[in-house]
Structure 1
Amino acid sequence: MSESLDSAPPPRTPTRALRQRLAELRGPAVRPRPLDARALAALAANPGCERRALLDGAGVDKAALATAIGSPGAFGQSQFAFMRGNAFEARVKSDGGAELMRLMGVEGPTAFRVPELTAAGPEGRAARTALALREATAEAAWTLLDHPLLALEVAGSPAYLEPDAVVVHPDGRWTVVEIKSFPMIDAAADAAKVGAAARQAAVYVLALERVAAHTEGAEAAHSVLLVCPKDFSNLPTASAVDIRKQLSVTRRQLARLTRIEDIAAALPEGVVFDPERPAEELTAAVESVSAAYAPDCLAACELAFHCRDRARAQDAVGALGRSLRGELGSLTTTGEVLAAARGTAGDPADPAVAALRRAAALRAEALEAAGCR
């Protein structure tokens, strides 16, 4: 094909002023940490958290920042799990990807292509990936893209994402492959881990959809191939996972994110998140950006312990969970909730207040019937 590498529409590039502002926030000598699919999935699960959106968008090392302000957290993959995952992925992709393609139902190393995706910089790699996807679709050939790079615009800033693999089918479908080291026992894996993998894969599919929209005959599949060890062995097995629900939620939540430049513009002058700064200065900088803490953050954000302490100190109902926070509406502290339940505060016409008072009355009746009063 004569198509050039830059024929795919690139994600919007931040303005020079915004890049400079984010560099100032990060610290002039600090290299940015790139956004990955796991971070974007966590961000999509909590789009109201401006703190995480800004820090991730600026490429701040949140783990180092949390340690610097005195709230380190045991977050992330252990070295052993990381090594085990890499070893399993290497086994799945052995023989030039023949084992992985066998799981797709394609037999023989000559039955598919594995294009070279090397290019200079993330923009070049993303453009090379887009070109390889279009070429494979036009040729209607089974094609395995090993660690392609995909671009996605998030809150006005580009993110570059690297799935384990993408398989192009002869009919034009593009399937994301997620390789995980947790076991699949009797053809079923841990539901929580599968859900996390599905949310991560949904981010990849969103990025694929952007390329597919400009490729004739192409379609990003809304199911992903999850590859895991079979039972208690190291043999790979695979299962298709429908991610339509996760895809819809992720698309909607990412669209709700406040643009990074708007958050940065509202910050006080002199705010810097360089972990080398004094702890008091860093704490004030972190507190200058609003957060939306929920218990789910403990499994997804390095700053979760700091945010939890602040939420508890502020008596915030969000510390009890997002669903509860949503049901309580305008009641934002546990003190307001208790006062509303006792009838000493709150608008009786408010459905949340009415429900709390009804619940308090039922509790009082139950205690009286049990002789507890």
Structure 2
Amino acid sequence: MSTTHHHSLRKRLADLRGPGTAPRPLDARALAALAANPGCRRRALMDAAGVDKGAVAEVLGAPARFGQSRFAFSRGHAFEARVKRDGCAELLRLLGAADPGVPAEVPDLAAPGPEGRAARTRLALAEAPAGSWTLLDHPLLALEVAGSLAYLEPDAVAVAPDGRWTVVEIKSFPILDGGADAQKVGAAARQAAVYVLALDAVEPGRARPDVLLVCPRDFSNLPTAEWVDVRKQLAVTGRQLTRLTRIEDIAATLPEGTTFDLRYAADGSTPTRSRIELSQAVDAVPAAYAPECLSTCELAFHCRDRSRADGCVESLGRGLRGELGTLTTVDAVLSAAHGEAGDPADPAVAALRRAAALRAEALAAPVPGAGVPAQQAGEGAGERAGDAACR
């Protein structure tokens, strides 16, 4: 992308965000969530523009309540400081340094602006001396995503004496009896894979495909570590990110004057933009809602309400959407199940009609239960059988 083109795109994204509004950084966690749902143009555009989706959701009346509590955030910072104290001696030990008592070189990465910090990080990686350890504390890496630059900040990147680069992820969830929560480890692996992709953009092949995950051991605050192979996450995330529609193409489809600016009052405390006007701007960008969005996106509740209002089967889950084939709405599914529409040769239609027939048969054959009136027992058994058949 040429410099002129890049500046033009940045101005367009600034207009979408709102004049004078500082952009929210697009971090690795957001990129991993975006890669898991590459068809969502709404999130892609708003994240690239640095829109505060949480504030937008508040104005829309559909706030999402997830993320770290202040206590967990403080605990995480305290644990990271413990891991990196005394010249990062503990971190060197976990990395497998032959002599962790020898302090590593920790270059100063301070520079004005994200572009300066990213350039300083690239220089520090290039100048790391061979034969000794170099630790980059909170480096800044740049990764182009859908035509827009994202700046990513891992907890640390270690340069080994052999010149290999290792991503270090420091988390506050515990490793109990040698194992950690699989879901949390998976989320950390997807996040770390984004950092490895960004390092590959600096120099392909230098970054290790396994990352060091540092966590508290058992119920103490003592650090321990696991090596996590992220090759699978690298392949999936890299493939999904390349599928994202270019941000400039998404922005070009929007009506003239579309903006997500909240238009704060003079004191900076209260959004003055109407809910209807903001909702129209948000809904002008197509979304791809799925139940998984509820744990990863601030706009999930708003998108879920819209998806349900439109009768989209995606609101029931991606797996079900895939099984239903050409039946894309709840009304179409019900019509097919009741024999009012649909091709009987379609496997999805045939399965729906079979399920509906089994449910009707079960409801017509009451089974008396102990101490329960026959009619109520029959209805309960029929509902259970019908639900099982539909599943």
TM-score (normalised: structure 1): 0.90
1:119 Cα deviation from its structure 2 partner: 2.1
1:325 match = 321
Q: Report the CA distance between 1:339 and its aligned residue.
A: 1.9
Q: Is 1:212 paired with 2:199?
A: no
Aligned counterpart, 1:274: 261
Alignment partner, residue 281 of structure 2: 285
Match of 2:125 among 118, 129, 133: 133
Q: 1:199 aligns with which of 190, 195, 203?
A: 190
Whether the aligned pair in 1 keeps the contact of 2:106 and 2:134 (CA below 8 Å) is yes
After alignment, is 353-362 or 258-267 more displaced? 353-362
| CA distance in 1 between partners of 2:25 and 2:107 (Å) | 25
Shift of 1:359: 4.1
Q: 1:362 to 1:249 in 2, by over 3 A?
A: farther
Deviations, residues 250-297 of structure 1 (Å, cap 9, x unaligned): 111111111111111100112110122222110111111111111111
2:252 equivalent in structure 1? 265
| 8 A Cα contact 2:166 2:212, kept in partner | yes
Cα distance in 2 for residues equivalent to 1:11 and 1:363? 62
- The percent of aligned pairs where both chains have the same amino acid is 70
- CA distance in structure 2 between the partners assigned to 1:185 and 1:77 by the alignment: 21
Using the TM superposition, give the Cα deviation of residue 177 of structure 1 relative to its aligned residue in structure 2, in angstroms. Answer: 0.7
Could you say which residue in structure 2 is the equivalent of 1:98?
89
Question: Does residue 344 of the first structure (1) align with residue 331 of the second (2)?
Answer: no
Answer yes or no: is the 8 Å Cα contact 1:96–1:109 preserved in 2: no
Stretches of structure 1 that go unaligned for 5 or more consecutive residues are: 1-9
How large is the RMSD of aligned CA atoms in angstroms? 2.2
2:230 is aligned with 1:243 = yes
Please tell me whether residue 310 in structure 1 is matched to residue 306 in structure 2. yes
Deviates more, 1:61-70 or 1:105-114: 105-114
Deviation (angstroms), 1:316: 1.3
Distance 1:12 1:340 in 2: 54
Instruction: Say whether residues 1:120 and 2:112 are aligned partners.
Output: yes
Shift of 1:29: 2.1
2: CA distance, partners of 1:73 / 1:40: 18
- SS of the counterpart of 1:219? coil
Are residues 1:46 and 2:37 paired? yes
Q: For residue 86 of structure 1, what is the aligned residue in structure 2? A: 77
Output the CA distance in 2 between the equivalents of 1:52 and 1:195. 22
Deviation string, structure 1 residues 60-88 (Cα, Å, up to 9, x no partner): 11111111111122132211111110000
Query: SS in structure 1 opposite 2:102?
Result: helix
Matched residue type, 2:9? L
Moved more, 340-349 or 249-258: 340-349
CA contact (8 A) 1:73 1:303 kept: yes
Query: What amino acid does structure 2 have at the position aligned with 1:273?
Result: F
Which moves more between the two structures, 61-70 or 123-132?
A: 123-132
In the alignment of these two chains, the number of paired residues is 359
Please say which structure displays the higher CA radius of gyration.
2
Contact 1:12 1:157 in 2 (8 A): no
TM-score of the two chains, using structure 2 as the length reference: 0.86
My pick for the range that moved more, 329-338 or 362-371, is 362-371
CA drift at 1:361:
4.8
- Aligned-partner residue type, residue 134 of structure 1: A
In structure 2, the gaps of 5 or more residues are: 264-272, 368-377, 383-391
